[in-house]
Amino acid sequence: MNYIELFLDYLINNKELSANTLESYKRDIRQFEVYLREHSLSLEKVTKTIVITYLITLQKTGKATSTISRNLASIRCFYQFMLNERYMNVDPSVNLESPKVEKKLPSVLTKKEVELLLDQPVPVDAKGSRDKAMLELLYATGIRVSELISLSINDVDLISGLIICRSSDSKSRSIPLGNIAVKYIKIYLNEFRKKLCSNDSNTLLFVNFHGKKMTRQGFWKIIKYYSAKANINKTITPHTLRHSFAVHLIENGADIQSIQEMLGHSDISTTQVYIRLNKNKIREVYSKTHPRA
């Protein structure tokens, strides 16, 4: 009996899975079957010890922790199917814990790299002024790209130097802008925004060349364009400026609670990754500069 084909038919007909997820299950189980065949074992004769040994083998061959966790999830799903269909009486994957996936530390820019990136847009026309204002605001506040492109003109108080940022969960937070961001937002609003959007009923702060709401993909292209112009040898995403904002604040002595509030993190443990990142940087600087490191 071809248990894998039966399993895949079950997934297709009973689970609403994406094509990628389905392919992952198929690939993982077939690889597991190959391993079993090489050791003269069959899928229906598997024990917990065999599953553990297989996972250790994956680890020894250099597979990432995330890959091993996904393989275990695929094996667990397969044997739940085998148990439910009464092809087996015991699930050999039960109570096996997935290896903990260590979160990758976010990539950040140095202060010099941020300056280099922010210096690329020249505010002499509508595009340059808008892009300069967007990048300065993003680095000044650390807001998410989805929040940036949703900002209304009414959310910006240039006199007080604050923005009101409204998250997807309907919560709002007030974040300082800083003098440089205020300066370039003023230039954009006073001299160039009307050239992009003459419709007074559209209150979006930043718009595309059709006077409509900018997309995340549109802003992604802007970041890629200016990072290429700056010749910064790092992969820069829109989120990179958010990470850099947080790390640079910590480097300058900001407290973690204030950063949590500005970033809009509901759980402080999410913000604490930036402390860890800063400690790693301090350790790196020490090892490079201390004569007895």
Check if the beta carbon of residue 262 is closer than 8 Å to that of residue 139.
no
**Residues 61 and 131 reside in one and the same domain:** no
**Residues 198 and 274 reside in one and the same domain:** yes
The answer to whether residue 103 sits within a structural domain is no
**Residues 118 and 244 reside in one and the same domain:** yes
The last residue of one of the domains, among 32, 49, 84, is 84
Instruction: Give the pLDDT confidence score for residue 258 in this predicted structure.
Output: 83
Q: How confident is the model at residue 155 (pLDDT cuts 50, 70, 90)?
A: very high
CA 104 → CA 40, 94, 130, 206, distances in Å? Answer: 38, 28, 32, 32
Range of the domain at 237: 111-289
Region 190-197: mean pLDDT is 93
Region 111-137: mean pLDDT is 95
Closest among 150, 173, 149, 146 to 162, alpha carbons compared: 173
Q: How large is the angle between the packed helices 256-263 and 238-251, nearest 10 degrees? A: 160
* CA–CA distance, 125 with 30 (Å, rounded to integer): 57
Instruction: Give the pLDDT confidence score for residue 288 in this predicted structure.
Output: 57
**Residue 113 corresponds to which tokens in the numbers above?**
């790299």
The answer to whether residue 8 sits within a structural domain is yes
**Residues 168 and 272 reside in one and the same domain:** yes
Instruction: Give the pLDDT confidence score for residue 285 in this predicted structure.
Output: 43
Instruction: Give the pLDDT confidence score for residue 104 in this predicted structure.
Output: 60
pTM above 0.85, yes or no: no
Instruction: Give the pLDDT confidence score for residue 169 in this predicted structure.
Output: 62
CA dihedral 141, 146, 152, 156 (to 10 degrees): 0
**What is the rounded average pLDDT for all residues in the chain?**
86
Q: Are strands 172-176 and 156-157 parallel, antiparallel or unpaired?
A: unpaired
**Residues 152 and 209 reside in one and the same domain:** yes
CA 233 → CA 87, 133, 220, 242, 284, distances in Å? Answer: 54, 24, 17, 18, 19
- For residue range 20-56, list pLDDT tens digits in order: 888 989 999 999 999 999 999 989 889 999 999 999 9
**Residues 73 and 116 reside in one and the same domain:** no
Instruction: Give the pLDDT confidence score for residue 81 in this predicted structure.
Output: 92
The last residue of one of the domains, among 84, 101, 122, is 84
The answer to whether residue 220 sits within a structural domain is yes
- Give the strand order in the sheet containing 162-166: 156-157, 162-166, 172-176
Check if the beta carbon of residue 135 is closer than 8 Å to that of residue 113.
no
**Residues 125 and 213 reside in one and the same domain:** yes
> Is 50 exceeded by the pLDDT of residue 105?
yes
> Is 60 exceeded by the pLDDT of residue 282?
no
**Residues 33 and 162 reside in one and the same domain:** no
Indicate the helix (H) or strand (E) that contains 59. helix 48-60
**Residues 40 and 146 reside in one and the same domain:** no
Across-strand partners of 157? 162
Q: How confident is the model at residue 272 (pLDDT cuts 50, 70, 90)?
A: confident
State the DSSP string of 66-89. Answer: HHHHHHHHHHHHHHHHHHHTTS-S
- For residue range 157-191, list pLDDT tens digits in order: 999 999 998 876 667 889 999 899 999 999 999 99
* CA–CA distance, 92 with 95 (Å, rounded to integer): 9
**What CATH number is associated with residue 16?**
1.10.150.130
The answer to whether residue 19 sits within a structural domain is yes
Across-strand partners of 204? 152
Region 245-273: mean pLDDT is 80
Region 145-155: mean pLDDT is 93
The answer to whether residue 89 sits within a structural domain is no
Q: How confident is the model at residue 130 (pLDDT cuts 50, 70, 90)?
A: very high
The answer to whether residue 217 sits within a structural domain is yes
Number of domains the chain is built from: 2
* CA–CA distance, 239 with 128 (Å, rounded to integer): 21
The answer to whether residue 129 sits within a structural domain is yes
The answer to whether residue 105 sits within a structural domain is no
**Residues 35 and 77 reside in one and the same domain:** yes
* Of residues 94 and 268, more confidently modeled: 94
Check if the beta carbon of residue 180 is closer than 8 Å to that of residue 140.
yes
**Residues 40 and 77 reside in one and the same domain:** yes
**Residues 274 and 133 reside in one and the same domain:** yes
CA 269 → CA 260, 276, 285, distances in Å? Answer: 9, 11, 25
**What CATH number is associated with residue 213?**
1.10.443.10
Rama region for 277: left / alpha / beta (φ>0; ψ in -120 to 50; rest): alpha
**Residue 284 corresponds to which tokens in the numbers above?**
């790196």
